[in-house]
Amino acid sequence: MKNILNTTFNTEHQSAPFDLIKTENYIPAIELEIERTLAEIDAICYNPKAPTFENTLEVLDTSGKQLGTITSILFNLNSAETSSDLQEVTQKAAPLLTKLQNDIRLNQVLFDRIKTIYNQKDTLILSSEQQTLIEKEYKGFVRNGALLTPEQKDKLRLIDTELAQLSLTFGDHVLADTHAFELLLTDENQLQGLPETSIMQAKSLAKNKNKEGWIFTLDYPSYVPFVTYAEDRDLRKKMSLAFGKRGFQNNENNNEEIILKIVRLKKERANLLGYDSHADFVLEERMAQSASIVNQFLDDLLQNALPFAEKEWNQIEEFANNKLNLKNLQKWDTAFVSEKLKEELFDFDEQILKPYFPLPKVLNGLFEIVEKLYGLTFKKSEKISGYHPDVSCYQVYDKSNKFYALLYTDFHPRPSKKGGAWMTSYRSQNQTQRPHISIVCNFSPPSDKTPALLSFNEVTTLFHEFGHALHGMLANTKYSSLSGTNVSWDFVELPSQILENWCYQKEALSLFAKHYETGETIPMEYVKKIKDAAQYQQGLQTLRQLSFSYLDLSYHDEKASEIESVFEHEEQQISKLQFTATQKENCMSTSFSHIFQGGYAAGYYSYKWAEVLDADAFELFLEKGIFDTETAQAFHDHVLSKGGTEHPMKLYKRFRGSEPDPRALLRRAGLIEQ
């Protein structure tokens, strides 16, 4: 029988036929599509006609289309619905795909054709998008070794293959350690302080596992409420230490040696390409441009945030000592004490918000906000299959009721899903096809008695990921490689982070914050408390993000290969930005998936960088009105629809009229003395 993955899907909008794909389909399908892709590359290389933009770069951009579809399905499912068999397949697929990438990027004949066009680019009549594609492809080849000697190219191939496998293994280890731990409680007294929703979820989980009592796990919807609200300090400690041990235990999932290998290989790869460090290699193509600029950016934020953080920590210690009889605060105390202090300062317990944020209503409200801003409508499809019963699929239409995208949603944790939240795509957008986008989260699931009730933090997470999804769904470019989120990593967080701002606005909250039992709209005094609390402990929160950013850069600078101990290196980098003692059995780096599995190596600073952009951009919405159609249209036209077709600062300035004001972030966070 023909392998379904090697065919054009005979489904609505050519959506992935998840229910028909078998694990054993992947490797044969990938091998066949690699052959077909190489044949497409050969056709470009040995075209007897002189190289032109159309017969070289445009054809290259469309090559390997089916392979891209297959690998998107495989690697997305390995994150959202994995199994030991699927993990084994990804380990087999990674070196095959890395070899293909190198076979293309190190193909001298292909590079020579691209170089010819690149050298003629100033004399050609091309659109700005076509000029960008020439620049991107030429630099992409050079940055992937096109100018190396044959011996150096062979070395690069070996490094890339090993890095691809190490990255997958790192993620598998974190997932395994996350799901290897569970806290089973049988004494009801141990539940004191915990929200009712958390208790019900823990009860349901225990019931599903045929156990008596309550089970708490390291999945975020279980872990975060536990360490934030549990009165039992010893149990908070147990959970916190278990969370911090992921990838750092004396077992088969230990990631320490993997990290050392990754950072040394990245340094070696950068050196091979003529850079002093992986950070130099990465930042050359970012808005920030260099490590020195990033460090100055972080240092400036630190200078503003540190005085506030010190005051906030002193306030926490004083409150813990005087009101909670807690001394010598440890890492498992900070969330608990911070929440108690917030309740006192603002007369506000965030748990009272959860009944106003049932997931179905929040999602529908989000759809309504997006319709007001960008004219999109969402219709749930019963015909298009998901990869798990939890997954829903929506057909997305533009303001003229024309089909514009597919959107998959997957909201709740399960053992087969990695932690965190992310947006991804199953099919890219280009001039001939509309995109298939997915958002994956790990929100509090429904219980036997209630629908899924979100914390306010989960609401902002949903809006954040939906902002990324909008970047994908509203993409309207000619070429896939420049579409949607294919932008600089320090620009990619702008669409996601700006959408979070609507969560704090009365006009937006009134659309979706409805009590799940009574239908009552969230009281205005709660809205005021949400806004009042928005600046709470921003100094400490900023220090936390800065510590991750500094740590990330330190793993990718010119001294990265000198690191001998992951634990000691981490301690050296971030201890000065922390107020609690280091725990010898914990190490954050060994589960730092953003930089060792995801694409944020030497780029974690991007979150703060993009916060400057989003704070500055949202000030315009506040000035004009949060649903002002003219402002929304400008953001759509110059940011959301343009992808990476031009330099991000050019796009931003077209929207805003000027470069971003760095003080906009400080104003929003309250990190400027009033």
Non-local CB neighbours of 432 within 8 Å, separated by 6+ positions: none
Query: DSSP letter at 325?
Result: -
Spatial separation of the C-alpha atoms in residues 194 and 558, rounded to whole Å: 46
CATH of 4-147, one of 1.20.1050.40, 1.20.140.150, 3.40.50.2000, 3.50.50.60: 1.20.1050.40
Distance set, CA 239 to CA 83, 223, 511 (Å): 25, 7, 37
Contact between residue 144 and residue 105 where contact means Cβ atoms under 8 Å apart: yes
What is the tally of helices (H) and strands (E) in the chain? 26, 7
Candidates 642, 616, 637, 629; CA nearest to 492 is: 642
Structural element, H or E, at residue 600? none
Q: What percent of the chain has pLDDT over 90?
A: 95
Non-local CB neighbours of 501 within 8 Å, separated by 6+ positions: 614, 618, 621, 626
pLDDT band at 349 (very low <50, low <70, confident <90, very high): confident
Q: How confident is the model at residue 672, as a pLDDT?
A: 82
pTM of the full predicted structure?
A: 0.91
Query: DSSP letter at 394?
Result: E
Domain map of the chain by residue range? 4-147, 181-244, 275-347+538-596, 355-534
Q: What pLDDT, in 10s, does the model give residues 506-515? A: 999 999 999 9
Report the relative pairing of strands 392-397 and 377-381 from DSSP bridges: antiparallel
* Mean pLDDT, rounded, for 445-459: 91
Spatial separation of the C-alpha atoms in residues 215 and 90, rounded to whole Å: 31
Is 80 exceeded by the pLDDT of residue 112?
yes
Q: How confident is the model at residue 449, as a pLDDT?
A: 86
Distance set, CA 411 to CA 423, 453, 569 (Å): 12, 12, 36
Is 80 exceeded by the pLDDT of residue 674?
no
Q: Is 558 a catalytic residue?
A: no
pLDDT band at 240 (very low <50, low <70, confident <90, very high): very high
Spatial separation of the C-alpha atoms in residues 579 and 608, rounded to whole Å: 21
* Mean pLDDT, rounded, for 397-417: 96
Q: How confident is the model at residue 350, as a pLDDT?
A: 86
Q: What pLDDT, in 10s, does the model give residues 9-36? A: 999 999 999 999 999 999 999 999 999 9
SS3 580: coil
Is 70 exceeded by the pLDDT of residue 673?
no
- Are domains 4-147 and 355-534 of this chain identical in fold? no
Candidates 534, 187, 536, 177; CA nearest to 345 is: 536
Q: Is the dihedral of CA 551, 553, 556, 562 positive or negative?
A: negative
Contact between residue 419 and residue 462 where contact means Cβ atoms under 8 Å apart: no
Spatial separation of the C-alpha atoms in residues 366 and 376, rounded to whole Å: 11
Contact between residue 425 and residue 435 where contact means Cβ atoms under 8 Å apart: yes
Q: How confident is the model at residue 356, as a pLDDT?
A: 97
SS3 644: coil
Q: Choose the catalytic residue: 40, 465, 493, 611.
A: 465
Spatial separation of the C-alpha atoms in residues 500 and 400, rounded to whole Å: 27
SS3 354: helix
> And the tokens for 647?
């330099």
Say which range, 52-61, 441-450, 479-488, 578-587, has the weakest mean pLDDT. Answer: 441-450
| Mean pLDDT over the full length of the chain | 96
Q: What pLDDT, in 10s, does the model give residues 206-223? A: 999 999 999 999 999 999
Spatial separation of the C-alpha atoms in residues 13 and 79, rounded to whole Å: 24
Beta partners for residue 185, in sequence order: 214
Is 70 exceeded by the pLDDT of residue 559?
yes
* Mean pLDDT, rounded, for 175-198: 96
Q: What pLDDT, in 10s, does the model give residues 532-546? A: 898 999 999 999 999
Structural element, H or E, at residue 185? strand 183-185
Q: How confident is the model at residue 532, as a pLDDT?
A: 87
Distance set, CA 538 to CA 338, 534, 543, 643 (Å): 12, 8, 8, 31
CATH code assigned to 355-534: 1.10.1370.40
Is 80 exceeded by the pLDDT of residue 526?
yes
